[in-house]
Amino acid sequence: MPHIDFPLVTDRLILRPFRPGDAEDVCDYQRRPDVARFMRWEPRGPQDVRVAVEQMARETEPASDGDCLSLAVVEPGTDRVIGQVELVLLSVEHRQGELGYVFHPAHQGKGFATEAAAAVLGVAFDVLGLHRVIGRCHASNTASAGLLERLGMRQEARFIGTELFKGAWRDDLVYAMLRREWQNLGRSA
């Protein structure tokens, strides 16, 4: 896989690999029940966040199926981590990936997640040469579905009762974008 040059800089954000010192900022949002509500994990305490950040700090060069690119989303000037974006390499052979993101509620609704996710889609299509990227979310997570739609991804599926999730059956929405669709949006480098 090609090398990714860090940091990624957008109009208002810096995306860079995680550092162990980011744990306090990450804990500030991962500890919150409103953030964990749609995540596969429960609110995390400081020790669990430290372990997660140490793992994410190693996720910088997706090369094999299942590898992840995890990036801290940082406010310029403050060096404060306000969220995270990731790209999971689902299949090298078929050039498929999956986009994910989590942001502190204080920084939601400002377009930061859309801006950061678009930068990662740029890496997926323009640097890694992926053919297709999906995004999945809990069907009740209208904010996440809206973000995927703002990126230009199209809803491909609604899976009903996919798993028992935090005591209830979960429905999932699946969105996707092909490289040619990304290029048609005029976003390619």
Answer whether residue 189 shows pLDDT above 70: no
- 181: alpha, beta or left? (left if phi > 0; alpha if psi -120 to 50): alpha
pLDDT number for residue 101 = 97
Any idea what the Cα angle at residue 105 is, between residues 135 and 147, rounded to 5°? 30
Cβ atoms within 10 Å, residue 123: 21
Mean pLDDT of the chain: 95
Q: What is the rounded distance in angstroms from the CA atom of residue 112 to the CA atom of residue 109?
A: 8
pLDDT in tens, 55-97: 999 999 999 999 999 999 999 889 999 999 999 999 999 999 9
Looking at residue 187, its pLDDT comes to: 74
Q: Which of 165, 65, 88, 92 is nearest to 134 (CA)?
A: 88
User: Mind listing the pLDDT tens digit for each residue in 148-172?
Assistant: 999 999 999 999 998 888 888 989 9
* pLDDT of 18: 98
Nearest-angstrom CA–CA distance, 164 and 142: 20
What is the arithmetic mean of pLDDT over 36-65? 95
Tokens 């020790």 belong to residue: 47
Note the helical H segments in the chain: 23-30, 33-36, 46-57, 112-122, 142-150, 179-184
